[in-house]
Amino acid sequence: MKGLYVHIPFCEYICHYCDFVKRVPKNQDMIDTYLIRLRDEIISYEQHYDKVETIYIGGGTPSMLTVDQLTYLFESLLRIKPMEYTIELNPESYTHEKGLLFKKYGVNRVSMGVQSFNDDILKYLNRGHKSEDITWIINDLKSIGIRDISIDLIFAIPGQTLDHIQYDLEQLLKLDIDHVSYYSLILEDKTYFYHQYLKGNFKPMDEDMEANMYEFTMNFLKSHGYEQYEISNYARNNHYSLHNSIYWTLGEYIGVGMGAHGFIDNYRTYNERGMSQYLDHFLKEKTLQTDETKLQDELIFGLRMTKGISISQIESKYNVTLMDKYPQISDKIKLGLVRIEGDYLHLTKEGMMLGNQVFMLFV
């Protein structure tokens, strides 16, 4: 399976926690110019079209594009016939007309940035929607025929409580959604929250409370039929994200657009993050991957998934003995962060909460 990631860097406003490649456009002409060059880059990968099985349009805020701009983008991808076709949307920029356009061009999965169902928290995050907007959008998408819907939620937000987490999860159940990505708030450089932190105006949540929220989420979703198949991702009725699974299993994917990354033909590709540079030449760096770097990536990404990694497959593929190469794994087993079951090495429940302590072994 091969994927295609398409980055739309434009946002109507900047969320206080976001460190993705994004910008508020000066005008519609800037977006149009970007889309023309984006199409050129998409065409440059046409030799891979017949093997692309997932498309993921992310951002930024792809849904803030006008209907004409979205049409231009979808037409640029028309020759690809993916099995899974995802677009990200923010609630405040969705319309019924855009939903119909999604359906017309074969989009069969939507990932929505909800983050919270509490309006005070949404305001604190500088989100542009209200919780009441979500129900209408979900129902509208389903009426159009797009039923594969995922929502993003965030926990460990200052001021958030376990009651807030429970309420968010109860709303998920009411909306009858089969996939949720639930991330902890991370204080990233070059964000509004980080600048407030440097001024002493932002206090990250206590680590114990963050762990309690994570454990509550895992237990709640499990009790309601959701499978935690990755550290932050939960699915019901086998509605996994096929595109994201490509990343976690070290599959090949093309990255197009400002700041996009790819892994194709044994090379990691990194696109320019600045608009003028991207419009001029797309690619910033292309790095051949050695077996050593691929082994590291396969261990780190593979352990993010709850099923873990097959020890025999890793050892055969890279001609190594895993425990000899990384003897510190034994220490993490003793600490209860990883476990070997049959042929598989995987994180324990405690390891899910402290995954970085395990991942650092392989860097």
> In this predicted structure, what is the pLDDT of residue 187?
83
Reported confidence tier of residue 23, pLDDT bands at 50, 70, 90:
confident
Nearest residue to 62 (alpha-carbon basis) of 117, 22, 108: 22
pLDDT digits (tens, 9 = 90+) for 307-339: 999 999 999 999 999 999 999 999 999 999 999
Angstrom distance (rounded) from CA 89 to CA 82: 19
pLDDT exceeds 90 at position 92: yes
Cβ atoms within 10 Å of 290's Cβ, excluding its own: 10
pLDDT digits (tens, 9 = 90+) for 211-250: 999 999 999 999 999 999 999 999 999 999 999 999 999 9
**Tokens standing for residue 260:** 């996009």
pLDDT exceeds 90 at position 118: yes
Nearest residue to 63 (alpha-carbon basis) of 125, 171, 146, 180: 146
CATH class label, 2-247: alpha beta
Query: Could you tell me the pTM of the whole model?
Result: 0.95
Widest pairwise Cα distance in the chain: 58
How much is the mean pLDDT over the chain?
95
pLDDT digits (tens, 9 = 90+) for 334-362: 999 999 999 999 999 999 988 889 999 99
Q: Where are the domains of the chain?
A: 2-247, 308-363
Mean pLDDT of 154-162: 95
Beta strands of 145-186 (E only): which ranges? 148-155, 179-184
